[in-house]
Amino acid sequence: MEKNTQFVGQSLAFLDAVEQAGRAAELNRPVLVIGERGTGKELIAERLHHLSPRWGEPLIVMNCAALPETLIEAELFGHEQGAFTGATKARPGRFEDADGGTLFLDELGTLSMAAQERLLRVVEYGEVTRIGASRAVQVDVRIVAATNEDLPAAAEAGRFRPDLLDRLSFEVITLPPLRAREGDITVLADHFGRRMAAERDWPQWPGFTAACAAELEGYGWPGNVRELRNVVERAVYRWDEPGRPISRITFDPFASPWKPKPMMPRASAAPAGDAPAPAAVAAPAIAFEDISDLRAAVDGHEAAIIRAALDRFRYNQRATAKGLGLTYDQLRHCMKKHGLSAG
């Protein structure tokens, strides 16, 4: 977990989540942090620890999805010498390591049912029994857990223990995705861009062109803040004119005309008499000689341009308007004129 990270953002949805974490930090209760990948769940866990009375004690991090199921319990609860093949010496688990402090369990939803059962006992009684041990060890640990799963739905489906969910959900902090954080994309892009420009020893931060800024605003950001950081830092790293605003960004670093094509399964021979599948038909070229109504033709092309731009900017109307050089009201007028929906 990075120690030089900081919260950057100004949207109400984001600030509400940060404030909620600050209030919950001072209580000695478990907290669940819910959010899509890249939304900053680790940062919230850090905040919960460092603002708590346990701030001087260990903050132990464990990614539950990073270890095979056979090792999860040994990592969490520890083991005695000879408890299983390869256990050449006794080893404390993460709970004992975090005694007096905070244990952050990332990807909580991937825990096996057996590990969930043992975790429930720790939450209820504060006791940990190493694998192969005959007696329990008392620990004082605050649990902060994170996941991008719908745990209530997982509990209903029998994949997560409802009693464990009840005990861990004293407070639930749900982080907004980046697409819901109004105004934060520009703020974050500027923050990451300035930091990367300083790393590249640029004399100043030139910013992005209006078209690039519109693209950043209009993108859906499935990877949230982590993806935005990669896109912005990549754009700065690839830009060779520090005196001019950046006008080129790459959302997909794998995009390339030489990208390997996926292996296709070998098709079985078609039965005799079956006609081959028709090839995709290319869009017809504009037949100017067939145009008999200029106004209708212009309106049709205008509607097609606006429809394509809306699709490109994921139906973010403000970004679409900026990308087309229109005001928001002008775009709305055109959409109404051509009967285009808001997506």
Q: Are residues 95 and 194 in the same domain?
A: no
Per-residue pLDDT tens digits for 132-155: 888 888 999 999 999 999 999 999
CB 331 within 8 A of CB 306: yes
Among the listed residues 148, 89, 155, the one whose alpha carbon sits nearest the alpha carbon of residue 120? 155
Its domain, for residue 233, covers 179-238
Q: What is the CATH number of the domain that holds 231?
A: 1.10.8.60
Q: 72 lies in a domain? A: yes
Per-residue pLDDT tens digits for 281-315: 344 455 666 677 777 777 788 888 888 888 888 78
Q: Return the higher-pLDDT residue of 79 and 97.
A: 97
Q: Are residues 21 and 152 in the same domain?
A: yes
Q: 23 lies in a domain? A: yes
Q: Are residues 101 and 218 in the same domain?
A: no
Q: Are residues 210 and 310 in the same domain?
A: no
Q: Which of 176, 203, 228 is at the close of a domain?
A: 176
CB 102 within 8 A of CB 50: no
Q: What is the CATH number of the domain that holds 146?
A: 3.40.50.300
| CA distance readout (Å), 165 to 38, 142, 298 | 23, 15, 59
Q: Are residues 168 and 184 in the same domain?
A: no
Query: Is the per-residue pLDDT at 219 higher than 70?
Result: yes
Taking residues 12-25, what's their average pLDDT? Answer: 96
Q: How much is the pTM?
A: 0.72
Q: Return the higher-pLDDT residue of 103 and 72.
A: 103
Q: Which H or E run includes 193? A: helix 184-199
251-276 burial code (b ≥16 CB/10 A, e <16): beeeeeeeeeeeeeeeeeeeeeeeee
Per-residue pLDDT tens digits for 228-274: 999 999 999 999 999 999 999 999 999 888 888 877 666 555 455 55
What is the gyration radius of the CA atoms in the chain, in angstroms? 27
- Residue 1 is predicted with a pLDDT of 44
- Residue 281 is predicted with a pLDDT of 36
DSSP state of 114: H
Compute the distance between CA of residue 176 and CA of residue 51 in angstroms, rounded to an integer: 21
Compute the distance between CA of residue 165 and CA of residue 152 in angstroms, rounded to an integer: 8
Share of the chain above pLDDT 90, in %: 60
Q: Are residues 48 and 110 in the same domain?
A: yes
Query: Is the per-residue pLDDT at 14 higher than 50?
Result: yes
Q: 2 lies in a domain? A: no
Q: Are residues 156 and 85 in the same domain?
A: yes
| Number of domains within the chain | 3
